[in-house]
Amino acid sequence: MKTIPDFFRLASLGPQTTGLSFVVWISSLDMSGDDVRIWVSKTTKASQMVCVAIQPEVRVVEGKMTASDLALLKKWVRLNRNVIVKYWDGDILYTEAVIAVLKPVTS
């Protein structure tokens, strides 16, 4: 069964913010006990979301990604891991605050 995140706790990040060719969702204040996770997809449809854990290494938990997309996502996570974790943990409270400090991937 596919795990669908709580959409009220997600911030969607488009290509203009991330530099990636797909949408990334980051989550705040997760209470599931899971490792820090993000979700990605080529569109904004929940049915196409791929769940990705980012600690200790970036890895797909549910769904599939191309090797090239995963490589780019890993690069983006390396640039932003601390910010993503702080948002997940609730140390950064507001979406606009996290977006202000995220770094996009550059080619």
Please tell me the predicted confidence (pLDDT) of residue 17: 93
Please tell me the predicted confidence (pLDDT) of residue 1: 42
48 occurs within a structural domain = yes
Please tell me the predicted confidence (pLDDT) of residue 98: 93
64 occurs within a structural domain = yes
Query: Mean of the pLDDT values across residues 85-103?
Result: 92
31 occurs within a structural domain = yes
Strands of 37-41's sheet, edge to edge? 10-13, 23-27, 37-41, 50-53, 59-62
pLDDT at 42 over 50: yes
Q: Where are the beta strands (DSSP E) in the chain?
A: 10-13, 23-27, 37-41, 50-53, 59-62
102 occurs within a structural domain = no
107 occurs within a structural domain = no
Q: Which domain holds residue 44?
A: 7-93
Q: For the chain, what is the domain count?
A: 1
Give percent of the chain above pLDDT 70: 86
What residues pair up with 25 in beta bridges, in sequence order?
12, 39
100 occurs within a structural domain = no
Question: Any idea how long the chain is?
Answer: 107
35 occurs within a structural domain = yes
Query: Model pTM greater than 0.85?
Result: yes
101 occurs within a structural domain = no
